[in-house]
Amino acid sequence: MRITNDIISSGMKKIISTTAAPGAIGPYSQAVEANGTLYISGQVAIDPATGKLVEGGITEQTTQVLRNIRAILTAAGYTVDDVVKSTCLLSDMADFKAMNEVYARFYTSDQPARAAFAVKGLPLGALVEIETIAVK
């Protein structure tokens, strides 16, 4: 798979886009960088190779979400160590423990601040969505 990264600058704001993560499914950017801060839009478990939600449960979906986040971080020149805040949205709080186990394998040290919420529904029937803020 050929990975392309686009960074479009408009004054103080850069739009980040990579084919290594799923494209936006609405009128928003994968990520926006402003003044040394990267704001990554909420990611659901879409496999960028197929454009479809990954099969499986919360473990598989959380793994894919975090892969998508890592791909966007990389495209923007950031790493997981630059992440300062995550917001995790779960369609069922009963999945919190399993999501947390995958999340802990992704952020192994100096974990970012985080909030987790149960929501009524997520795009495409996803079980988890995570948005991320990173700072250089």
Token readout for 48 is 């960028």
Q: What is the CATH number of domain 5-135?
A: 3.30.1330.40
Cβ-proximal residues to 89 (8 Å cutoff; 6+ apart), any chain: 42, 116, 117, 118, 119, 122, 128, 129, 130, 131
pTM of the model: 0.91
Contact status, residue 41 vs residue 129, Cβ threshold 8 Å: no
pLDDT value at residue 10: 60
In the chain, which residues have pLDDT < 50?
Answer: 1
Instruction: Calculate the average pLDDT of the chain.
Output: 93
